[in-house]
């Protein structure tokens, strides 16, 4: 049994004297050394005493997990609290006068100042913090520290000291100023947290005790050495996330100063919602928002996508792949890893699409295979009937997306090539049926669940279709970007376009935006399908792919062309809610612990399988849960509900990317094997399929850290957008984002169906 605990006198006396010096020195100081600062410093000293002089220190000699609690208290709790107390000036003033006469010149010496600048550089602090963690957890050094009190004290000094160096840069106690701005320091915290995650993973999954010191003593506390090690890893990982992520979010919020929001240019509309020339040129309208000029996006993609032949070619190639997938789904083997319908759409297509959207915008809708037959339809049918007024919102899409997610979970659509083929064929039929009767790209705008998913994810993308020079649009009175433009000369894009997609008027007129999105007033990627017709129609060559300010566009609420004010659109808020919470429901529903729990629950209530539970549970998590907690977080305010749900979109986008990216990486080889099999069925020899490599490859060691980093970036962007949008009322929403992020951390580290990590 552990020995009896006694209070270490010298440690306690030293902490009490340090507190007395601080309190004595802060007398007469300015208001910046407030009582709150003093409370933080004293709380930090109290935490230091708990770590070094309480029973925690005693039990640290018997098991790893109390020792990890010590390290967490020293580096992640005591260190930031002490720094928040701005201790430099008060402690110096609280020293005896004779000590001040000795310490003052020493601190003012040139060598001391150089060492001070070197140690407090953010890069130095981060490296020392990381080295302290890794070096002192080398088994030989760790066992030495446990066995010898002197080295134990040195170890604790390293953890406390390097923690102070890092958080000194984070909080910048007066008069210090860090060499890096807020955003680079966010990256520093993420890097520290990432290496901590790697270390905790090594500790948790080592499979054997790493520290001989605890092999005989850990059972005294009721845990086995392996369980002790796993508990220690979990405590350290959770503590790091709980400290680093909120502080990183605070730094992001500091860097995103709420600026005076520009008055948006209201867009009067004539018949059919199209701006009239007179209203577009109104001299009383405030200026349109200026956008950044196109840089990388335009240089790489813009010139190619502005050619209609390129866009049409991409769509027809995608449609040819869709036909091949459907034929293989109907006629090929029904084992999903061996069929194109079981690999290309679910393993490759989803991952490539989501990652592509987050990098370069909504190119998924631009290259949509369903648009090829739609273009062919437009050659013969040009409907003028508007979509039913009662359905001109996103409520239909909200229901379809939720039902789609629930059916996906309940019926394992990814495992049925036949079902996949019929779904794709049905998608084409639905698009043709809707667009054969209704004008204005009604299917894309109001119905298509995939389009809503892509558009919402693209709200977190750094690229959009926009104007290069807002002043040109201010002088424009004809609005060709919506109305279309006559062809005054044979245009290369028109002559190169695939003739099968040409409309009867294509020889005399270039079509404008069927979504009725006026480029000068459009912000973000909602409803924009990247068709680039507006760029083709603009006579000033002023529409292109441009870089966007993601946080600003997510937070600000001007009058937007096509969607109005986001804060008044409850349907858009619920669509964002379904897509964000649906991302976590979709990933959560494929984790082995939850799948097993659903099976047991279904059996307990007498159901033959878990389909009903999966269907109802997904609907509840995607619809009911966000509605309830959103109303609570918004305090009943519709505007705050809409702003809050929109602010969560980057986190939802990161979860979609993490989930689909995981399947893309671990199942990538399945596509080639199924393609070899399909080619062999039609007489083409692409080699013998290697079925052993066709499914569920081993998870590469870099993937889980990359997923954790993606979730961290997503939650930080969401936090920045929420703070900019809601100010002090953002904290309930930030708490929701943090809870979802922690759920995502758990999801990516547990076994998942079809991942190859489950025997």
Please state the φ and ψ torsions of residue 626, each to the nearest 5 degrees.
-65, -35
On whether the CB atoms of residues 457 and 359 are closer than 8 A, the answer is no
For residue 4, the model assigns a pLDDT of 60
Per-residue pLDDT tens digits for 553-563: 888 888 888 88
Predicted confidence at residue 255, as pLDDT, reads: 67
State how far the Cα of 468 lies from the Cα of 556, in Å rounded to an integer. Answer: 20
- Report which listed range, 6-10, 305-309, 481-485, 589-593, is most confident: 589-593
Q: Is 60 exceeded by the pLDDT of residue 507?
A: no
Q: Left, alpha or beta for 530 (phi > 0: left; psi -120 to 50: alpha)?
A: left
At 207 the pLDDT is 74
Greatest mean pLDDT range, 193-197, 312-316, 477-481, 622-626: 622-626
Q: What are phi and psi of 486, to 5 degrees?
A: -75, 150
Question: Is 465 in a helix, a strand, or coil?
Answer: strand
Q: For 225-239, 270-284, 500-514, which range has the lowest pLDDT when averaged over its residues?
A: 270-284
Q: What angle do CA 57, 63, 68 make, to 5 degrees?
A: 65
Rounded distance between C-alpha atoms, residue 220 and residue 210, angstroms: 18
* Per-residue pLDDT tens over the stretch 390-446: 888 899 999 999 998 888 878 888 888 999 999 999 988 998 889 888 888 888 888
Residue 38 CA to residue 537 CA, distance in Å, equals: 64
The pLDDT of residue 488 is 54
Residue 236 · residue 68 · CB < 8 Å: yes
What angle is formed at CA 113 by the lines to CA 95 and CA 128, rounded to 5 degrees?
Answer: 95
pLDDT-derived band at 280, boundaries 50, 70, 90: very low
**Spatial CB neighbours of 678, under 8 Å, sequence gap ≥ 6:** 324, 328, 332, 339, 340
Tens-digit pLDDT profile for residues 138-167 = 888 888 888 888 888 899 899 999 999 989
Residue 335 CA, chain-centre distance (Å), reads: 33
Residue 281 has pLDDT above 50, yes or no: no
In the chain, DSSP finds a helix count (H) and a strand count (E) of 39, 4
pLDDT at 547 over 70: yes
Q: What is the per-residue pLDDT for 696?
A: 63
Report pLDDT for 645. Answer: 95
Average pLDDT over residues 223-243: 84
Mean pLDDT of 488-510: 47
Tell me the backbone φ, ψ of residue 504, rounded to 5 degrees. Answer: -55, -25
**pLDDT at position 39 over 50:** yes
Nearest to 647 by CA among 561, 720, 708: 720
What three-state secondary structure class fits 193?
Answer: helix
Q: What is the mean pLDDT of residues 459-479?
A: 83
Q: What percent of the chain has pLDDT over 90?
A: 14
| 3 state SS for 601-641 | HHHHCCCCCCHHHHHHHHHHHHHHHHHHHHHHHHCCCHHHH
Query: Model confidence at 3, in pLDDT bands (50, 70, 90)?
Result: low
Structure tokens at 153: 């004290």
Q: What is the pLDDT of residue 551?
A: 82
Q: Binning pLDDT at 50, 70 and 90, where does residue 506 land?
A: very low
Sign of CA dihedral 489, 491, 494, 496: positive
Cα separation, 298 vs 292, in Å, equals: 12
| pLDDT of res. 576 | 94
Query: How would residue 290 be classed by pLDDT, with cut points 50, 70 and 90?
Result: very low
Residues 503 and 260: beta-carbon distance below 8 Å: no
How is residue 114 written in tokens?
Answer: 């150089």
pLDDT average, residue stretch 367-373: 84
Does 504 have pLDDT greater than 50?
Answer: no
Rounded Cα gap, residues 292 and 240, in angstroms? 37
Residue 271's region, left for phi above 0, alpha for psi from -120 to 50, else beta, is: beta
**pLDDT recorded at residue 301:** 66
693 confidence band (pLDDT: 50, 70, 90): low
d(CA 504, CA 536): 18
Q: Is pLDDT larger for residue 444 or for residue 484?
A: 444
Q: What is the pLDDT, as a whole number, of residue 282? A: 36
**Mean per-residue pLDDT over the chain, rounded:** 80
Distance CA 330, CA 334 (A): 9
d(CA 367, CA 350) in angstroms, rounded, equals 14
Give the β-pairing of 543-547 and 509-510: unpaired
Instruction: Read off the pLDDT band of 704 (50, 70, 90).
Output: confident
Lowest mean pLDDT among 129-138, 238-247, 336-345: 238-247
Q: How many Å apart are CA 476 and CA 479, to the nearest integer?
A: 7
The answer to whether residue 656 scores a pLDDT higher than 90 is: yes
What pLDDT is attached to residue 494? 41
Grade residue 622 by pLDDT with cuts at 50, 70 and 90: very high
Residues 199/109, Cβ–Cβ less than 8 Å? no
What DSSP designation does 77 have? I
For residue 69, give Cα distances in angstroms to 124, 231, 338.
Answer: 25, 10, 49
CB 72 within 8 A of CB 239: yes
Lowest mean pLDDT: which of 10-24, 54-68, 245-259? 245-259
**For 256-307, where are the alpha helices, taking DSSP H only?**
277-280, 296-300, 302-305
pLDDT tens figures, 108-128: 778 877 887 888 888 888 889
Question: Is pLDDT at 249 greater than 70 in this prediction?
Answer: yes
Q: What is the pLDDT of residues 18-30, one digit of tens each?
A: 888 888 887 777 7
DSSP state of 648: T
Q: What distance in Å separates the CA atoms of residue 667 and residue 337, rounded to the nearest whole number? A: 9
In this predicted structure, what is the pLDDT of residue 569?
A: 92
Q: When comparing pLDDT for 567 and 297, which is higher? A: 567
Q: Structure tokens of 310? A: 């390129």
Helix axes of 625-634 and 570-588: crossing angle, nearest 10 degrees: 130
Enclosing H/E stretch for 338: none
Rounded Cα distance between 613 and 104, Å, is: 70
pLDDT value of residue 233: 84
Cis peptide preceding 276, ω within 30 of 0: no
**With 90 as the cut, is the pLDDT of residue 721 above it?**
no
**Residue 505: what pLDDT?**
42
Which of 758, 623, 655, 576 has its CA nearest to residue 350? 655
Q: What is the pLDDT of residue 691?
A: 67
> What are 508's two structure tokens?
């005399």
**Local structure of residue 221 (DSSP, 8 states):** G
């Amino acid at each position: 049994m552990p020995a009896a605990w006694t209070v270490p006198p010298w440690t306690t006396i030293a902490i009490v004297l340090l507190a007395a010096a601080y309190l004595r020195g802060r007398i007469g100081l300015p208001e910046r050394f407030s009582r709150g600062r003093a409370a933080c410093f004293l709380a930090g000293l109290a935490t230091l005493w708990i770590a070094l002089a309480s029973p925690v220190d005693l039990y640290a000699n018997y098991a790893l997990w109390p020792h990890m609690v010590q390290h967490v208290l020293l580096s992640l709790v005591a260190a930031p609290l002490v720094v928040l107390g701005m201790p430099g000036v008060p402690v110096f003033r609280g020293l005896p006068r004779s000590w001040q006469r000795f310490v003052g010149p020493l601190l003012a010496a040139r060598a001391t100042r150089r060492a001070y600048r070197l140690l407090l550089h953010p890069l130095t602090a981060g490296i020392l913090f990381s080295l302290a963690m890794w070096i002192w957890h080398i088994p030989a050094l760790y066992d030495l520290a446990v066995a010898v009190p002197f080295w134990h004290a040195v170890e604790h000094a390293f953890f406390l000291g390097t923690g102070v160096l890092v958080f000194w840069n984070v909080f910048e106690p007066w008069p210090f100023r860090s060499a890096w701005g807020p955003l680079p320091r966010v990256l520093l915290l993420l890097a520290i947290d990432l290496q901590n995650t790697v270390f905790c993973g090594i500790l948790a999954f080592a499979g054997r005790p790493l520290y001989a010191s605890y092999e005989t003593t850990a059972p005294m506390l009721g845990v086995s050495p392996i369980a002790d090690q796993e508990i220690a890893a979990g405590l350290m990982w959770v503590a790091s996330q709980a400290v680093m992520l909120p502080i990183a979010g605070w730094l992001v919020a500091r860097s995103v100063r709420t600026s005076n929001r520009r008055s948006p240019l209201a867009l009067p509309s004539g018949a059919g919602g199209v701006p009239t020339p007179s209203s577009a040129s109104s001299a009383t309208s405030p200026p349109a928002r200026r956008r950044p000029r196109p840089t990388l996006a335009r240089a790489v993609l813009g010139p190619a996508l502005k050619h209609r032949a390129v866009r049409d070619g991409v769509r027809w190639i995608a449609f040819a792949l869709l036909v091949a997938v459907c034929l293989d789904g109907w006629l090929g083997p029904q084992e999903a890893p061996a069929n194109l319908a079981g690999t290309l759409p679910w393993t490759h297509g989803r991952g490539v699409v989501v990652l592509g959207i987050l990098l370069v915008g909504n190119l998924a809708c631009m290259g949509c295979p369903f648009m090829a037959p739609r273009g062919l339809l437009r050659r013969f049918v040009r409907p003028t009937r508007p979509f039913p007024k009662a359905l001109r919102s996103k409520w239909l899409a909200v229901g379809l997306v939720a039902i789609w997610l629930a059916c996906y979970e309940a019926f394992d659509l990814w495992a049925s090539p036949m079902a996949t083929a019929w779904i794709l064929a049905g998608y084409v039929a639905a698009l043709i049926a809707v667009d054969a009767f209704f004008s204005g790209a009604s299917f894309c705008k109001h119905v298509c669940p995939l389009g809503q998913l892509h558009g919402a994810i693209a709200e977190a993308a750094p690229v959009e279709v926009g104007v290069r020079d807002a002043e040109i649009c201010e002088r424009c009175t004809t609005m060709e970007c919506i109305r279309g433009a006559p062809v005054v000369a044979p245009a290369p894009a028109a002559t190169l376009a695939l003739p099968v997609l040409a409309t009867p008027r294509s020889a005399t007129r270039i079509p404008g935006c069927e979504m009725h999105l006026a480029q000068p007033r459009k912000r973000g990627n909602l409803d924009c399908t990247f068709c680039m017709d507006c760029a083709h129609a603009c006579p000033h060559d002023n529409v292109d792919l441009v870089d966007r300010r993601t946080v600003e566009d997510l937070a600000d609420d001007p009058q937007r062309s096509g969607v109005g004010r986001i804060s008044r659109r409850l349907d858009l808020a619920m669509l964002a809610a379904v897509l964000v919470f649906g991302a976590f429901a979709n990933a959560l529903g494929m984790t082995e612990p939850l799948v097993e729990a659903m099976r047991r629950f279904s059996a307990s209530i007498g159901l033959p399988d878990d389909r009903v539970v999966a269907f109802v549970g997904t609907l509840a998590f995607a619809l009911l849960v966000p509605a309830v907690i959103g109303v609570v977080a918004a305090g009943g305010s519709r505007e705050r509900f809409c702003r809050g749900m929109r602010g969560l979109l980057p986190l939802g986008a990161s979860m979609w990317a993490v989930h689909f990216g995981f399947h893309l990486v671990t199942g990538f080889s399945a596509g080639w094997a199924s393609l070899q099999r399909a080619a062999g069925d039609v007489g083409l020899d692409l080699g013998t399929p290697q079925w052993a490599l066709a499914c569920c490859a081993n998870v590469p060691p870099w993937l889980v850290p990359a997923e954790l980093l993606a979730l961290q970036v997503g939650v930080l962007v969401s936090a920045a957008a929420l703070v900019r949008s809601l100010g002090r009322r953002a904290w309930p929403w930030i708490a929701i984002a943090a809870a979802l992020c922690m759920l995502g951390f758990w999801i990516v580290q547990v076994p998942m169906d079809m991942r190859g990590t489950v025997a």
